[in-house]
A and B are shown apart, each in its own frame.
Chain A
Amino acid sequence: MQKGIKTTTLFILSIMLFIPFCSSVKGEIKDIVEPQSTEKDSLIKGFANCNKSNTTTSACILHSKDLTSSFEVKYNTSIDGVYLRVTYNGYNELGNAFVAATNESSGCPGSETKCIKFYKDASIRINGIKDATFKFEFIDDNDNLIESFTGAFTLSDIDLGQSVTFVNGNKNVNITKVDEEYLEYKENTVSSFANVAVNDVRMEMGKMKFSFEGSFELKYSFAQFNMYTDYKATLKRGQMGIPFNYYNIPTSLYNFSSENPLKTETEDYPKASASTGATFWFSDTMPDCYLKNESTCSKTEYVQSNISSCYMQKPAIIYDINNSDIKDNGVEDSKKTKTYCYIKELNSDRKYFDNNPTVLAGMLAWQNDDNQPLIETEYKMECVVIGKNEQVLLENIIKNVISQMKNSDWIKYLIIKDQQEFELETNVKDLSYTQLDDNSFEIEVKSSSNYNKSFKWQFLKKTGIAIRENMSIFDDFIKSDASYGIITPINLFDKELKTDIKFKLKIGDMDIITENDSASCPYTVTTKLITEGKKLNLAFRVIDTENPFPGIDAKGRMTGTNWCIDYGDSIKYDFNNDGSVDIIDASHYNKQNGYESNDVQNDSPSLELQNLLATPEGNFCSKNNPVVTKEIINSPSSNSTGTPIFSITLTPDSIKNIKGYNKGKSYDDFDLKCTDGEKCKSSFVTKILNGNYGVTVNNGSCKIGEGRSYCVGGGS
Chain B
Amino acid sequence: MKESIWGYMIITFGVISIFFIYFFNNITNTDQHNFNLLRETTEAAMFDSLDLATYRLNGTVKIDSEKFIENFIRRFAENANLSHTYKIDIYDINETPPKVSLVVSTADSSTSTNLTGEKITFSVVNKIDAILETTY
A-to-B contact residues, CB < 8 Å: 3-4, 6-8, 10-11, 14-15, 18, 21-22, 25-37, 39-40, 43-45, 47-48, 58-59, 195, 197, 199, 213-214, 277, 303-305, 374-375, 377, 527-529, 536-545, 548, 557-563, 566, 627, 631-632, 635, 637-638, 640, 642, 644-652, 654-656, 658-659, 661-662, 667-668, 670, 672, 680-682, 684-685, 688, 695, 700, 708-709, 712-716
- Chain A min CB distance to B4 (Å): 5
Q: By the criterion CB–CB under 8 Å, are A40 and B129 in contact?
A: no
Across the interface, B136 reaches (CB within 8 A) one of A33, A558, A658, A662, namely A558
| C-alpha spacing A682/B36, complex, angstroms | 26
* Cα A59 to Cα B67 with chains together (Å): 27
Residues of A within 8 A of B43 (CB): 35, 540
* Given known A557-B136, A659-B78, A716-B53, contact A667–B131 (CB-CB < 8 A): no
Given known A-B contacts A10-B7, A29-B79, A670-B67, A548 and B18 have beta carbons under 8 A apart: no
Is B67's CB under 8 angstroms from A716's CB?
yes
State which residues 1-43 of B face A: CB under 8 Å: 3-4, 6-8, 10-11, 14-15, 18, 21-22, 25-26, 28-33, 36-37, 39-43
Instruction: Count A/B pairs, Cβ under 8 Å.
Output: 312
The digit string for B48-67, where 1 denotes a CB below 8 A from any CB of A, is: 10111111111111001111
Which chain B residues border A37 with CB–CB below 8 Å? 47-48, 50
Chain B residues engaging chain A, CB cutoff 8 angstroms: 3-4, 6-8, 10-11, 14-15, 18, 21-22, 25-26, 28-33, 36-37, 39-48, 50-61, 64-67, 69-71, 73-99, 101, 103, 109, 127-136
What residues on A are CB-neighbors of B59 within 8 Å? 44, 47, 58-59, 195, 197, 303
Contact of A712 among B21, B26, B40, B93 (CB under 8 A): B93
Given the interface contacts A39-B50, A661-B74, A685-B66, does A11 sit within 8 Å of B33 by beta carbon?
Answer: no
Question: Are the CB atoms of A647 and B88 closer together than 8 Å?
Answer: yes
A712 to B98, CA, bound (A): 13
Query: Taking CB as reference atom, which chain B residue is nearest A305?
Result: B56
Is B73 a contact partner of A688 (Cβ separation < 8 A)? Answer: yes
Q: Complex formed: what's the CA distance from A682 to B88 in Å?
A: 18
- 17 A-B pairs (CB sep. < 8 Å): A7-B3, A22-B21, A39-B52, A58-B59, A305-B56, A375-B56, A528-B56, A539-B132, A541-B131, A541-B133, A543-B99, A561-B134, A640-B89, A640-B103, A667-B75, A668-B48, A681-B66
How far is A647 from B91 in the complex, measured between Cα atoms in Å?
9
Contact pick for B30, options A18, A22, A27, CB 8 Å = A27
Residue of A nearest to B66 (CB): A682
Q: Which residues of A contact B71 (CB under 8 A)?
A: 667-668, 670
B40 & A714 in contact (Cβ 8 Å cutoff): no
A647 touching B89 by the CB < 8 A rule?
A: yes
CB nearest to B100 among chain A residues = A637
Q: How far is the CA of A36 from the CA of B58 in the complex (A)?
A: 24
- Decide: B48 and A545 in contact? CB cutoff 8 A: no
Interface contact A8-B82, CB-CB below 8 Å? no
How close is B75's CB to chain A, nearest CB, in angstroms?
A: 6
B22 touches A21 (CB 8 A): yes
Q: How far is the CB of A454 from chain B (nearest CB, A)?
A: 44
List the A residue with the shortest CB-CB distance to B23: A25
Cα separation A584 to B116 with both chains bound (whole Å): 62
Query: What's the Cα separation between A527 and B51 when bound, in Å?
Result: 12
Residues of A within 8 A of B31 (CB): 27
| Chain A residues with CB below 8 A from B11, complex form | 7, 10-11, 14
Q: Within the complex, what minimum Cβ distance (angstroms) separates B83 from chain A? A: 7
Cα-based distance from A48 to B101 in the complex (angstroms): 25
Measured between beta carbons, the chain A residues less than 8 angstroms from B4 are: 3, 6-7
Q: How far is the CB of B15 from chain A (nearest CB, A)?
A: 7
Give B57's nearest chain A residue, CB to CB: A197
Are the CB atoms of A6 and B127 closer together than 8 Å? no
Contact partners of B41 in chain A: CB under 8 A: 32
Cross-chain contact A650 with B33 (CB below 8 angstroms): no
On whether the beta carbons of A649 and B87 are closer than 8 Å, the reply is yes
A270 to B92, CA, bound (A): 50
Q: Are B92 and A638 in contact (CB under 8 A)?
A: yes
Contact A375 B53 (CB under 8 A): yes
In the complex, which of the residues B46, B130, B133 contacts A562, with contact meaning CB atoms closer than 8 Å? B133
Which residues in B have their C-beta under 8 angstroms from that of A7?
A: 3-4, 6-8, 10-11
Interfacial chain B residues near A58, Cβ < 8 Å: 58-60
Q: How far is the CA of A539 from the CA of B46 in the complex (A)?
A: 11
Contacts of B85 in A (CB 8 A): 649-652
Query: B101 contacts A638, CB within 8 Å?
Result: yes
Contact among A8, A632, A712 with B66 in the assembled complex (CB-CB below 8 Å): A712
Contact check: which of B22, B45, B61 meets A22 at CB < 8 Å? B22
Please tell me if the beta carbons of A685 and B69 are within 8 angstroms of each other in the complex.
yes
* Complex interface: chain A residues within 8 A of B97 (CB): 562-563, 627, 631
Residues of A within 8 A of B29 (CB): 25-27
The answer to whether A559 and B133 have CB atoms under 8 Å apart is yes
Minimum C-beta distance from B13 to chain A (A): 10
Chain A min CB distance to B1 (Å): 8
A364 CA to B133 CA, complexed, in Å: 36
Once bound together, how far apart are the Cα atoms of A30 and B133, in whole Å?
A: 28
Q: How far, in whole Å, are A655 and B106 apart by their CA atoms in the complex?
A: 13
Given A35-B45, A647-B87, A712-B93, 10 more pairs with CB closer than 8 A:
A11-B14, A14-B11, A539-B133, A557-B136, A562-B133, A645-B92, A646-B88, A650-B77, A659-B77, A688-B73
